[in-house]
Chains A and B, each alone.
Chain A
Amino acid sequence: MKLITAVVKPFKLDEVKTALQERGVHGLTVTEASGYGRQHGHTEVYRGAEYRIDLVPKVRIEVVVEDEVADEVMDTIVTAARTGKIGDGKVWSVPVDGIVRVRTGERGPDAV
């Protein structure tokens, strides 16, 4: 199993969610996040004084999927989240050693 984490623009959340549902991914976790990449935030102006805002609002989406579909799910997220403009985010995956469904105690792929 793989844990796929995506950090994307907040307004893209709905599109990513819909695309994942259509791809058959039934559960996901969403966290409000903030950060920056190469673009290093944005500038705001108050009474002529400029402020550099380093940390830009993002959402962090996490899903656990089986190994064989991991690449496909990552592609689904990338397609749905892409605007082509700077700050679109990142998607990565890491191996998952174990997983348990809290309600039933099921383990492994059955728990996903």
Chain B
Amino acid sequence: MLLADSTAGLDTGDTAWLLASTALVLLMTPGLALFYGGMVRTKSVLNMIMMSFVSIAVVTVVWLVAGYSLAFGPDAGGWGLIGGLDHLGMAGISPTSLTGHVPTLLFATFQLTFAIITAALISGAVADRTRFGAWVTFIAVWTLLVYVPVAHWVFSPGGWVLAKLGALDYAGGTVVEVNCGASGLALALVLGPRIGFRKEAMRPHNLPLVLLGAGLLWFGWFGFNAGSALGANGTAAAVLLNTQAAGCTGLLGWLLVEKRRDGHATTLGAASGAVAGLVAITPSCGSVSLLGALVIGLAAGVVCSYAVSWKFRFGFDDSLDVVGVHFVAGVIGTVLIGVFATAVMTGGPEGLLSGGGLALAGKQLVAVLAVGGYAFGATYGIGLVIDRLMGFRASAEHELTGLDLAVHAETAYDHGVLGHGTTAHATVLAHPSDKAATA
């Protein structure tokens, strides 16, 4: 009752949807952990999953202490480049503070879940060969120096991409997808290829895990895109429908290419195609019609299934195809807004097919180049500094042994009497109670 006056302006329906969406988007990161975890070899699956889980913790702390303020605080200097320090540690924001019709604390948490998964996505480019401590350091620094400024440019009302340039990005095609893709490529180049890249078979060790992870990503993507409406309304419904449509045409597009090119439609292709379609519709879901969504998803599925072979052609080891899937589909979805945007959805700018000419496509391209270029350059620099200071790459011995055992002192599976993690040949060396007794 005391809060009755101060909650004027709050919409409980919008708030309820955003609370649910926040939970959905957070679930995407454990989903990503399984998606990535299944694609690596048995010896490094726990390390792969751990890179995502630790991102949840590190990015949360960085975001709440400084990230939110610098991304969404009032613009510093009016350049549209970075926010201010007014809300460090969420200072000045109370439970009754509102952003639109929802609590600001909820909006900040919703945005936090985007920052988390973007950082975690990069891990796919450097699977199997990254020192864990260096990774933890990297995501803290990267979140502050790369994610936060880009989020300010694109998502903040004071950001230059949104406010000054007028480019459209509904749910993070540039901030999340192009950003993680360009950053992943930079980091893959800093670390160099895995031992045995292009010589040894590095097959996914558990495809059901990959499909489970892809399913969780898909489920969470409804919160990612439709939650970005920040309201329980018709726009959210249209966005939700576009998201589903593009995920499906992405899946089908990838399978068609595979069947024609390789003779088999694969489960990894289905999972990858769905993700490619969902990535591509992320920037465009709020500005295109259903037909546009169907075409954008299909384009992403088809193009990305070819793009993943680039790493073999050019020799960079983007282990799990962050570039081939996220960067390429992110670019497709962001640029095709310039073709398919309709005033019915955007309430203003129109794309080529609606008679808006090429102006919007040009702005979209500028946004992609700016975000991609900055993410690549800054991440390359951060990677080099961390490599110089503490060493970014795991030792050859650890890489060959597998990072699960070498870094975490664990193994994922008990394969039998002769394998690691065996029960038959395991001897208890010390229990925590023994240590307590001798302490």
Contact = CB atoms under 8 A, between A and B. Distances in A.
B203 to A, nearest CB: 6
B391 interface: no
Interface string B53-82: 000000000000000000000000000000
A49 B312 contact: yes
A44 interface: yes
B308 A47 contact: yes
B309 A46 contact: no
B203 A47 contact: no
Interface string B295-327: 000000000011011001000000001001000
B204 A46 contact: yes
B201 A48 contact: no
B258 interface: yes
A48 B258 contact: yes
A82 B321 CA distance: 42
Contacts, number: 32
A48 B203 contact: no
Nearest to B262: A45
A51 B201 contact: yes
B272 interface: yes
Nearest to B306: A48
B308 A48 contact: yes
Interface stretch (B164-172, B183-191, B263-271): B263-271
A7 B262 CA distance: 31
A50 interface: yes
Nearest to B311: A49
Contacts of B272: 47
Given A46-B268, A47-B272, A48-B308, A53 B201 contact: yes
Contacts of A44: 203
A88 B201 CA distance: 25
B261 interface: yes
Contacts of B262: 45, 48, 50
B276 to A, nearest CB: 11
Interface in A21-54: 44-53
Q: Which of B201, B261, B264, B312 has the most CB of A within 10 A?
A: B201
Contacts of A45: 258, 262, 264, 266
B264 A48 contact: no
Contacts of A49: 308-309, 312
A4 B339 CA distance: 71
Residue among A44, A45, A47, A53 with the highest chain B CB neighbour number at 10 A: A47
A46 B203 contact: yes
Contacts of B261: 48
A47 B201 CA distance: 13
A81 to B, nearest CB: 25
Contact of A46 (B266, B306, B324): B266
A5 to B, nearest CB: 21
Contacts of B266: 45-46
A53 B305 CA distance: 22
Interface in B264-302: 264, 266, 268-269, 272
Contacts of B309: 47-49
Contacts of B204: 46
Interface in A53-101: 53
A53 B201 CA distance: 8
Contacts of B268: 46-47
B98 to A, nearest CB: 45
A108 to B, nearest CB: 31
A1 to B, nearest CB: 29
Nearest to B268: A46
Contacts of A46: 203-204, 266, 268
B321 A51 contact: no
Nearest to A45: B262
B312 A47 contact: no
A50 to B, nearest CB: 7
Contacts of B258: 45, 48
Contacts of A51: 201, 203
A75 B297 CA distance: 57
A51 B196 CA distance: 14
B410 to A, nearest CB: 25
A32 to B, nearest CB: 9
8 contacts: A44-B203, A45-B258, A45-B262, A47-B308, A48-B261, A48-B305, A49-B309, A51-B203
Given A48-B261, A53-B201, 13 more contacts: A45-B258, A45-B266, A46-B203, A46-B268, A47-B321, A48-B305, A48-B306, A48-B308, A49-B309, A49-B312, A50-B262, A51-B201, A51-B203
The 10 closest A-B pairs by CB, nearest first: A51-B201, A47-B308, A45-B262, A48-B309, A46-B268, A51-B203, A45-B264, A47-B268, A46-B203, A46-B204
